[in-house]
Amino acid sequence: MSTLPVALDLAAARHARLLAALLDHDDPPWASGVLPPLAHWLMFPPDTRQSELGADGHPRRADDGLPRRMWAGSRICFLAPIPLGSVVERRTEQVAVEDKQGRSGRIRFTTLRHRLSVNGTVCIEEKQDIVHREAADGTMALPAVDVPASVPALARTVMTDPALLFRYSALTFNAHRIHYDLPYARDVEGYPGLVVHGPLIATLLIDQYLRHHPKAPITAFRFRARRPVISGTPLILGFSGATHDGALTAIDCMGGAAMEAMVETA
């Protein structure tokens, strides 16, 4: 287990305001005066110097033969609200590293644990899964869908246009080139187009939930990315649950479940 330096940031009102603009809200469906669910991903932007970025736009890493990176999933507990205007402390530990051999080569799974606190009270605890893969060996076609995902009754469709990706990258200071540099995404990493951020899809899913359960006291949220979503294609966001708890699914243009998530409330 390794520990990263403690970070401090301000839970600013602009985080909530800009997230509302990104999600196209005049009257956001979350509680006022506190940080919206998943808006903590807008905090603690990377401050790596420009000269220390790698070819992919992320901080340069040692050459381990695994240059491709993706955020595969997270498990988040919301333990206490974070008031807007408060100073937030984040402590991060690397709790697991595992190498596996996949169909497309060697894969490394890294799990980070983040704890966000205000005045000594832990408000959010998150376990985040990062995957590193070997370099692409040509253009990657999206895998075929064996079993189409069922569209939940509470569903809507959003268009994943490049402006949406650009604004989210700007909000998070994310320089990963797969989200804005089409020649890089296509020719270097092998994707058929720009890739929609995993945390952006998760944010769209929790927004879909809150549109039907405004100001719900969310206590836990977890998601797992299943398939890459390519910009310029429609994405179906759906919620299915008999109560306030339930399953969320993002369905891509090929009918596959691109992301699956679960939400729990008090």
Higher pLDDT, 153 or 119: 119
Average pLDDT over residues 119-125: 98
- Is residue 211 pLDDT above 80, yes or no? yes
Distance CA 206, CA 71 (A): 17
**Tokens at residue 81, please?**
């609200």
Question: Are the beta carbons of 206 and 38 closer than 8 angstroms?
Answer: yes
- Cβ-count burial of 207 within 10 angstroms (0-12 exposed, 13-18 middle, 19+ buried)? buried
Count CA atoms within 13 Å of residue 2 on its CB side.
7
Distance CA 237, CA 254 (A): 14
Average pLDDT over residues 177-195: 94
- Of 29-38, 74-83, 114-123, 142-151, the range with the lowest mean pLDDT is 142-151
- Is residue 1 pLDDT above 90, yes or no? no
pLDDT bracket for residue 142 (50, 70, 90): confident
- CB-CB neighbours of 105 under 10 Å: 14
How much is the pLDDT for 161?
96
How much is the pLDDT for 256?
93
- CB-CB neighbours of 248 under 10 Å: 26
Q: Any residues with CB less than 8 A from the CB of 39 and at least 6 apart, and which? A: 15, 16, 19
Structural domains of the chain ordered from first start: 2-265 (3.10.129.10)
Higher pLDDT, 156 or 62: 156
Q: What is the 3-state secondary structure (H, E, C) of the chain?
A: CEECCCEEEECCHHHHHHHHHHCCCCCCCCCCCECCCCHHHHCCCCCCCHHHECCCCCECCCCCCCCEEEEEEEEEEECCCCECCCEEEEEEEEEEEEEEEECCEEEEEEEEEEEEEECCEEEEEEEEEEEEECCCCCCCCCCCCCCCCCCCCEEEEEECCHHHHHHHHHHHCCCCHHHCCHHHHHHHCCCCCCECCHHHHHHHHHHHHHHHCCCCCEEEEEEEECCCCECCCEEEEEEECCCCCEEEEEECCCCCEEEEEEEEEC
- Is residue 170 pLDDT above 90, yes or no? yes
How much is the pLDDT for 215?
95
Average pLDDT over residues 35-52: 96
- Is residue 180 pLDDT above 80, yes or no? yes
Average pLDDT over residues 67-72: 92
Average pLDDT over residues 229-244: 88
Angle between helical axes of 162-172 and 13-22 (0-180°, round to 10): 170
Count CA atoms within 13 Å of residue 216 on its CB side.
21
Higher pLDDT, 104 or 38: 38
Q: What is the mean pLDDT of the chain?
A: 93
- Is residue 243 pLDDT above 80, yes or no? no
- Is residue 82 pLDDT above 90, yes or no? yes
How much is the pLDDT for 141?
67
Average pLDDT over residues 10-21: 97
pLDDT bracket for residue 24 (50, 70, 90): very high
In the chain, what percentage of residues exceed pLDDT 70? 97
Average pLDDT over residues 77-89: 98
Distance CA 201, CA 93 (A): 25
How much is the pLDDT for 139?
66
